[in-house]
Amino acid sequence: MIKGKFINENVPVVKVTLFSDQAVQTPYFILDTGFTGDLQVTAEIARELNLEVVGVTRTGMASGEIVTVPTAIAISTMEGIKRVVNVLISKNMSLVGISFLKKFDYKAIIDCKNKTVALKRVS
């Protein structure tokens, strides 16, 4: 089980290990159940990992705005399991989405009252 935490009073975050041929990072990612992709990282994290942009995608934002975002491929590891993940490179924040949880067979357990976050493997 991966345990996360709440930051800024009401934002659930979990650590995700992400790596490329060049480097490894384990930053906190906001657990965003409205994000259907794998991961979104900041441009700074993408630079530190030396992620190569392999394309662009049109993405709908929560505001309804459609934006074009660079994409990359990376490897992520969670509890000893490795998966290839699609990464959006954004100016904003790092997000972990529903597709990522599916790839690793996790369910998210968010307890807002007690401010706890966990990812639990379901298979």
What is the pLDDT at residue 30? 96
What is the pLDDT at residue 25? 92
Which regions in the chain score pLDDT beneath 70? Answer: none
CA–CA distance, 43 with 1 (Å, rounded to integer): 29
CA–CA distance, 112 with 110 (Å, rounded to integer): 6
What is the pLDDT at residue 52? 93
Give me 26's structure tokens: 């384990």
What is the pLDDT at residue 64? 80
What is the three-class DSSP state of 65?
A: coil
